Amino acid sequence: MAQRQRLIVGNWKMHKTISEARDFVAHLAGLLPKSPHVEIVLAPPFTALSAVADAIKSLPIGLSAQDVHWEDHGAFTGEVSPLMIKDLGCRYVIVGHSERRRHFGETDAMVNKKVAAVLRHGLRPILCVGETGEQRANGQTERVLSGQLTDALAGVGKEQAADVVVAYEPVWAIGSGQPATAEQARDAHRHIRARATALWGQDAGARLPVLYGGSVTPDNIGAFLALREVDGALVGGACLDPTQFVKILAVAHTNP
């Protein structure tokens, strides 16, 4: 059986100074498994993007920003535009992460503006969607996912679908040490793909990369990647240690 292409994204969140970022990449470079089947992307904080961009020039690693503003320029103190992100060498941008929604009040309408801006500049949004523990307990998971996807992807046409990545990150699993079960992940990913198919048609829906995120570790990544519905992972805490991150990449390489 031919191996599927995997996308593994390491989201550093608010961790690592510039010197720590350089040390991480130097350590990672000596451990990287060579695999044409695994696309590796790092998402450092804004302050370290330039340093990491330089450090990975000769490595098979892509670069992602953790967030972006939807305007190209303007009086938005503290914000970073898609033009700035692209100028740094980013190919991806994480959009709509639950921590942005929860701590900074991002709405689906704001996420939609960011998705549109990212696509307008030839970048790839990694759109995060997911339900809270209360919503899951109340049987609202599919309704929440449908609403987030429909609102965030409003105005995104079929011709742009190939540049979109979706990450299913159940809010209750992030940082909790309690990931979704394989069955929960499978069902959520199926629903996401079905919703994408309803928006863009069968071909585009089938090609959409859907990642799992939420307490991903070297010990559980294999169970998620064994699901044909899961195309990769958005990794949080476990990506901060290059040894642990390489273990995740190794599992992705060996999982058909």
Secondary structure of the chain in HEC code, one letter for each residue: CCCCCEEEEEECCCCCCHHHHHHHHHHHHCCCCCCCCEEEEEECCHHHHHHHHHHCCCCCEEEEECCCCCCCCCCCCCCCCHHHHHHCCCCEEEECCHHHHHHHCCCHHHHHHHHHHHHHCCCEEEEEECCCHHHHHCCCHHHHHHHHHHHHCCCCCHHHHHHCEEEECCCCCCCCCCCCCHHHHHHHHHHHHHHHHHHHCHHHHHHCCEEEECCCCCCCHHHHHCCCCCCEEEECHHHCCHHHHHHHHHHHHHCC
Q: Which member of 99, 169, 189, 229 is catalytic?
A: 169
pLDDT over 60 at 1, yes or no: no
- 6 pLDDT exceeds 50? yes
- 65 within some domain: yes
Name residue 93's beta-bridge partners.
65, 125
205 found inside a domain? yes
Greatest CA separation found in the chain? Answer: 53
169 within a domain of the structure (yes/no): yes
CB within 8 Å of 142: residues ≥ 6 apart: 191
Is residue 131 part of the annotated active site? The answer reads: no
Q: pLDDT confidence of 2, banded at 50, 70, 90?
A: low
Q: State how far the Cα of 130 lies from the Cα of 170, in Å rounded to an integer.
A: 4
1 in a structural domain: no
The total number of structural domains in the chain stands at 1
pLDDT 10s digits, 77-129: 999 999 999 999 999 999 999 999 999 999 999 999 999 999 999 999 999 99
- Indicate whether 250 belongs to any domain: yes
pLDDT band, very low/low/confident/very high, at 176 (cuts 50, 70, 90): confident
Catalytic residue list contains 97: yes
Task: Give the CATH number for residue 197.
Answer: 3.20.20.70
Q: Give the residue, 1 or 203, on which the prediction is more confident.
A: 203
Distance, in Å, from the CA atom of 43 to the CA atom of 110, rounded to the nearest integer, reads: 21
Domain span including residue 57: 6-254
- pTM equals 0.97
pLDDT by residue (tens digit) across 217-252?
999 999 999 999 999 999 999 999 999 999 999 999
Q: Which of 69, 97, 189, 191 is catalytic?
A: 97
